[in-house]
Each structure stands twice: as C-alpha cells, then as structure tokens.
Structure 1
Amino acid sequence: MIVLGLASVVVSLRFQRMQYLSMKWGWNLLRLFCTFQTIAQMLMLVSLSYWVTALWMNIFIPKSIFVVGLLALGAIVVMIKGIFTRIDDTFAMNGTVIGKNEAAPLWQELSSICNRVGTEPPDQIVAGIDDSFFVTEHPITLTDQVVTGRSLYVSLALLKHLKSSEADAILAHEITHFSGDDTTYSKKIGPLLTRFDHYLNALYQGGITMPVYLFMLCFRGLYELTLGHQRRRREFRADRIATEVTSANDLASGMLRLIAFSTYRASIENKLFDETKELESIDISQRIEEGFTEYAATFVQTEDLRNMSTSHPFDSHPPLDARLQAVGTSVDDQIHFNRLSLAGDGRWYHLIGRAEQAEREQWDAYEEEFRQIHQTVLTYRYLPNTEAEREFVERQFPPVEYDGKKGTLSLDCLSMNFSKWKQPVRFADVNSMTMNDNTLIVAHKGGSDSIVITKLPDKGQKAMGAIENYYGRYLTASDYAKSQTEWASSEAT
C-alpha cells in the first residue's frame, strides 16, 4: 500500500489527470484498507486487555475488556461516520452576473482575449468587490441565484484602478486556466480533498485510531506536495501565455497593482476594526478611492514584496518574485515603479454599463456588515469603564432576572446577584465558578456563594447559559484591557 501510494504521487507530479485519479482511487482504497486495519487493531487491543493481565498478573479483569471493547467500538463508529458524513462544500459569495446583452463591449473584448489564448469564453462573468480575479467551474451561490459551469470572477473595485493593458494581462492569465483544464480538475479534486480532510479529523478525534490517522496523514502530506507542484506549474504556464498575449511588463505591473490594492484595503479595514469607538460610517470604498493612487506609487518599495502573492479563494500562488523572474522581469525594474506612479484608466470597468451601481450596492452591504461585526466586537472589548460604554454593552447584554423557587438570580454586564446573597458579586472579584451536583459555587474575594441552579426556571438551563455568556463576555473584555495595557507599556519603553 505504501509503495502504491508513492508511485501514484510520482506519476501525479507530471499529469493532472493522474493527480485526480490518484486521489480518487487513493481515497477509496485507503479508507477500505484503514477500515480493516482499524478493526484488526481493535480486535488486538481487546485480546491484549485479556492476555496481558492473564499472563503477567494471573488475574482476569472483565471490566477492562468491556472498557477497551467500548473504546474500540466507538473508534470504529467515528471512523465510519467520517466516511459517510455528507460535507457541505457550497461556495457562496457576493456578486452580480454580468449578462452579454447588458455589457456587450466587455464580452467582445473578453472573447478577443479568449481567441488569442485558444479557449472558449466563460459561461458567465460574476462581478464583485473582492480583491481578486479568478476562474472556476465550482457552482457559485450568489444572493439571488446559483451559477454553474465556467465562471470568471472580476473585481469591480480593482478594475477601476487597473490600466487597460494590465487588465488584459490579468484576464488572459485567468482565462488560460480554462484552456489547460485546470478548473476542470480543481472541480473534481476539491470535493475529494474536503472529504479526505474531514475523514482525517474524524480519525484524529477517535483517539485510539491515531496510528491509522498518522498513516493517512502521510499520504495526505505527499499528495499536498504534488498539488503544490501542479499549482506552481499551472500558474507559470498561465503567466507565460498571458505575456505572449500582452507583455511581461503588463502582467508584472498588473500583479503589483493587484497586490498593492489588497494590501492597502486590508490596512484600511484593520485600522477601522481596531477602533475603540462605535463607527458611525465606514466608507471603506471612499477611503480606497482617496488614497490608493498615492499608496501604489510607493508600494514597490515595500519590504518583503518579493515573497508576497496574489489572493485566490481556491488555490495558492507562487511568490511574486518567482513569477516575475519566470517571465523575464523583476520586482526591482524601474518601469514598474513608473507605471504604478500613474493612476489606472479603468477602461474595463467602464465597459460594464451598470458597474458603478453594482459596485455601490455591494459596498453598501459589505460596509454595513462590517459595521455590525465591529459593534459586536466592541461589546467584548468594553469592560465597561464609562456610562456611555455601559449603555453600548447593554444593547446586547441587558440586565436580566430569573425568578426561582428559592430566590431570584440577577445578571448585568458587570456582576451577578442572588436574592439570598448578602451583596452582588462583581465579575472582577470572581476567582472561579464550579458545579457541584446541581449547585453553582461562586468563589470570590469576599468568600463564596452558591445557587441551586435546578430551582430556577427551565431547570436552570437558560440561567446557566446567561451566566456563561455574561461572565464570558467580561473575561474577554478584561483580557483585552490587559493586552492593551501591556502593549502601551511596551511601546513606551
């Protein structure tokens, strides 16, 4: 089995079809082999639980055999469940389909590139605001529909800042993946990898299936080597053809501008997310519009630029420096600095009739979601220290009460109280909370107090859930406050 696995890995280094077949047949054969191996291993453990004590200690312990048997049965159940569990591999994203009738000039330009590359145009173009371009044959779940077949995803936010020739090069690169059947095999291999990884996780959780897990992990690691090799080969091939259709400088400056955009957008979002006050407005798109051209002009001087890579939802890309060297240029070439110093013309963006409307709608939805997530995070950052912060936290963690047979439990964002206690207990003073049978024991600086949880409504389940949420929120906020204090101290020194 090991020899067969190694042979399939070697062959799949050269051919995508063999890579797919090695995973397909490897998955089927290995899970069958590992099932028999696990059963044999479990039988051996059960027999050893008898013979070890019988031969070495001259005693017979039925309980040990029973316990080992249960563990063995549980491991087999976990493994079988891992094989047959249905995995949700839905790929959902925000975007809008650009039809041929509404953007005929765009489709004509794209068809021209496809002809030069030597492949058919995609079945649909999906336009969004993510900072990437990619092609796929995976079904894509959009807000209002599911699209299947060959899809090209274009970033409206990026097209606006790209020069026409840069967009030509990037799109030629992506379309080339169709001509090499890259997307076809990615569609076939992707679900197999997802199932394989889920199965590995089940084996890991099985505990005594660890030997089988390590064996399967070895095959998965070797297969990952072939995936990395094929991904690298595919990207270099797509880069080469893109430079034949356009030029190496167009592709290089396009990739640099793309990475610069991703980096700049991430820096804006990280800065906003780190804000310690509620954000009235986000305006991520406006901030990008106002500052990207200036940022891009100095981006080529960024440290570690050589090791950066373009983003992709499915695959990883080789480092930028390796890709540029493969097409005969480099990061240090002065022409890239000169190109990025000038704003892009956004020609491809303007070929889409409703580009501005579609982009604005998606940014509005994204920025509102960003604002709501930031609000939730702030709730876990504030202790609170001020009345305004307390009002903010109490939007999601308002004071609550649970009336029971033995008294009333009260909770707020800073403390908890029971009607029979002498005084409320601040979360800041709590040392520990433990359950003893049906009693919650709260140890704190002033001593300890207790509550018979089952005497509260719903046998205390809702009350316990609330205690965990309110106290957990406080602990998270406390840890955040400590980390901020430590960071401020380190900055001062």
Structure 2
Amino acid sequence: MSENCIKREPNVSKKKIFVSLLFVPGFYLMVLFTTGLIVFVGSGLIFIIHYFVGKFLGELGFAYFGLILLDALPFFGMIFGVVSCFIAIISMFFKNKQFEPAILINPHDHPKLRDLISELSVKMDSQMPDAIILHVKSKFFVSEGKINVFNGTAKGRILAISYPLLHVLTVNELRAIIAHELSHFTGRDLVFHRFVFPVYKGANKYLEYITSLFNHNGRRRPIFISIPMILPKVLMEYYLKIFHKYNMKISREMEYRADYIASKMCGKENFKEALSKLISHGNVFNRLIDEQMTEKIVHGFQFENYFSFYREHVETYKKQIEESLGKALRDHEVEYATHPTLKNRIVNLPNVDSIYDNNEEALDLINSFDYIEVSMTKYYNYYLNDNAIHF
C-alpha cells in the first residue's frame, strides 16, 4: 500500500468520553433539582395565594372556599410535575425493544461475504460480528445488544448491511464501508452509545412529560397549574442543549476516526466512492421504496421483488441521484448533527492507495439473492401495512 498521507488519525480522547459520561449523573442531579424546584415553586405559590386572599378577602364568607379552589391549581401542577419526573426516570429502565426492517442471515450461507468480513476483522484486530443483518433501507451500522428483525432477533455484536446498495457498490467499496463500521468496535464508540445515548433519550422523555403539562389535547392548561413547571422546563431545556451539542460533537469525531481507518485499510478512492453512493443512492432509494410500495398497497397490489424493480429502473432516477449527491456536497456543518457533512468527510480522508482490485458488484457476495429479495419485499409489504404509513 503506497501512502503519502500526512494527516494524523482522529481520536476521541478518554477525557472527552469521561466528560460525556458526567452528563449521565448530571442528568439525575438535574431531575432531583428540578423536582425540588417544582415543589418549592408550587409551595411558594400556595403560600402567596394564602397570604393575599387572607389579607384582602379574609372577612368575606366565600373567601375560604375560593382559597381552596385557588390552592388546588398549583397543588395539582406540583403533583403532576413530581409524578412526571418519576415516570420519566422509571421509563429509562424499561427500554423499548429496537426493531429494524431487516433479515438475519447465517454467514456460512454466504461464504464470500463471511470471508471478507472475517479478513477485515483480523486485520483490524476486531472480533467477528456475532450477527449480520441485511437491512431493507440504505443503512449500515453496528450495535451491541438485541435487535428484533423480520425473521428473528439479532444478538451480541451486530453488523447491519444495506441490502439495496449492494448492487451499486463494488466489493472494494463495500469492504471500505464495513471497515468503517467495524472501526466502531475497536474504539470507545459503543461504550459511549451504550451509556450516554440511553440517558439522553430518557432526558428528552422527561422534558416531553414536563412540556405536556402546559397543554392538554391542544388546549393550554390554567396558568396556576403550569407555573411550577416553567423554571424547571427552562433549566432542563438548557441542560439538554449543552448535553446534545457536546455529545453530537463527539459522535462526529468518532465518524471522522472511522472514516480515517476505513481509508487507511481500503484506500481513499474506494471509501470516497462508497460514501458518495451511500448518500446519493441511499436518499433516493429510501424515499422511493416507501412511496412506490405504499402506492401499490393502496391500489390492492404488491411488488413481488422491489429490489430487482429498482435495479431495472435505476437509470430513470439518475437525475434524482445526482441532485441528491450535489445537495449533500453543498450541505453545511450542523453542530447538532450526528455525522459530519459529506464534503468535510471527503476533505479529511487520508491519501492512501488501495491494495484491493475486486471491482465486481457487491451483490455477488450474497448467495440466492433472488430468494432473499422476494422474502424481504414480502416482509416489508407486511411492515408497511402494519404501520399504516401514509405519504
């Protein structure tokens, strides 16, 4: 492998990971603080109501009854706020099972794909994935845990491969994408995602509960019910903004590192082309599969094999694919995005030549792909029906 690269490998330091992990106990402290604040503000409001009603209307006979009614509003607001805090915290410990529209495959049934992944795993000093799934959409990722798919449950270290992109990627390009994904296993990425992201999701759920107390069925609640939650809501929104901004920055740095490793392993041009196809073809395919399959379902028909249909008509969408790539290259960096822009990712790739020369279509790595395509199309038809997707 010839190399004229002077760029240094991006790295997410232990210090940054440690700081991101501090957001986890920080969130729980914020919940305790805002819960106490809800009680404090609610109690203070009740005291103020008592004081002014007793001072100005104390001599009137109906004042006592009116006082009870006024007290009830901030009291219920206070109770709603405290209960919401506990619901949000408890819900964090009962994670919804992750589902992906994909199928679990046996690597031994696809020896070419298995050998490619195995070779990369050895070179990258990474464990071979415990499970491999073929995704219906344009989606590559790695995960650790459990993911429900159409034909079972993927467990352990999971590698997801976008099935529809296999016909536009070469074997060299697919190798580069898989190297990118496997690099997430070799860094601290999964530790970050395992401990920080679930808490971030819980924090957003907590904020949703608090925000819902300001409105009910589209109607604003009485002001005295909402007052105890105003300051806690503002504080939690500010905390989550900092939390999100910092962790998205780390996420983008992890992507730069994975890009760097993939280019070092497989060559800059291979990864650059793979990344461009992943975004340009992926954006178009993801939209079309839902639109076209749903339209068929609405009219009482179904595709037998949508993937072959897309391959046969891909030239029809050439303009859309080019426009998708052009837009991606013009996008500006967003500080709250999980991934850098395509332009920035390409600019930061190291200049490394490839030692691989397999430019065959990556779909050739899959045995009996026609049977797999029919099965995935059938599964996805059911999925669209069950989820009642409307466009």
- TM-score bracket, normalised by the shorter chain, equals 0.7 to 0.9
Matches within 5 A, 1:234-273: 234-269=254-289, 272=292
**Secondary structure at 2:139's aligned position in 1?**
coil
Indicate which of 79, 82, 88 corresponds to 2:85.
Answer: 79
Residue by residue, what CA displacement relative to the aligned partner does 1:18-74 show, whole Å, maximum 9, x if unpaired? 145212211222212222222111211110111123345666542222443333333
- Give the CA deviation at 1:236: 0.6
Q: Does 1:212 align with 2:218?
A: no
Could you tell me which runs of 5 or more consecutive residues in structure 2 were left unpaired when the two chains were aligned.
Answer: 1-11, 214-225, 352-358
Residue pair 2:103, 2:376 contacting (<8 A) in 1 also: no
- TM-score (structure 2 length as normaliser): 0.78
Change (3 A) 1:296 1:138: farther
Indicate which of 143, 168, 178 corresponds to 1:171.
Answer: 178
- Give the CA deviation at 1:191: 1.9
Please name the residue that 2:307 is paired with.
285
Matches within 5 A, 1:18-33: 18-33=18-33
Could you tell me which runs of 5 or more consecutive residues in structure 1 were left unpaired when the two chains were aligned.
Answer: 1-11, 310-314, 330-343, 379-493
Change (3 A) 1:121 1:24: same
Residue pair 2:268, 2:349 contacting (<8 A) in 1 also: yes
- Give the CA deviation at 1:182: 0.8
- Give the CA deviation at 1:97: 2.6
**Secondary structure at 2:132's aligned position in 1?**
strand
Q: Does 1:111 align with 2:132?
A: no
Question: In 2, Cα distance between the equivalents of 1:267 and 1:136?
Answer: 24
Greater RCO (Cα-Cα under 8 Å, separation 6 or more): 2
Please name the residue that 2:364 is paired with.
350
- Give the CA deviation at 1:145: 2.9
Change (3 A) 1:72 1:370: closer
Percent identical among aligned pairs is 17
Which residue identity does 1:75 align to in structure 2? G
- Which structure: larger Rg? 1
Question: In 2, Cα distance between the equivalents of 1:353 and 1:184?
Answer: 34
Indicate which of 296, 305, 310 corresponds to 2:328.
Answer: 305
Please name the residue that 1:382 is paired with.
none
Change (3 A) 1:153 1:267: closer
Which residue identity does 1:285 align to in structure 2? F
- Give the CA deviation at 1:275: 8.3
Indicate which of 252, 267, 289 corresponds to 1:232.
Answer: 252
Q: Which has the higher helix share?
A: 2
Change (3 A) 1:279 1:285: farther
Residue pair 1:137, 1:184 contacting (<8 A) in 2 also: no
Question: In 2, Cα distance between the equivalents of 1:172 and 1:239?
Answer: 9
**Secondary structure at 1:318's aligned position in 2?**
coil
Indicate which of 74, 96, 101 corresponds to 1:68.
Answer: 74
Question: In 2, Cα distance between the equivalents of 1:95 and 1:276?
Answer: 20
Which residue identity does 1:198 align to in structure 2? K
Q: Number of aligned pairs?
A: 346
Question: In 2, Cα distance between the equivalents of 1:201 and 1:237?
Answer: 34
RMSD: 3.1
Q: Does 1:202 align with 2:186?
A: no
Please name the residue that 1:34 is paired with.
34
Matches within 5 A, 1:418-437: none
- Give the CA deviation at 1:320: 0.7
Which residue identity does 1:320 align to in structure 2? L
Which residue identity does 1:82 align to in structure 2? A
Question: In 1, Cα distance between the equivalents of 2:49 and 2:241?
Answer: 34
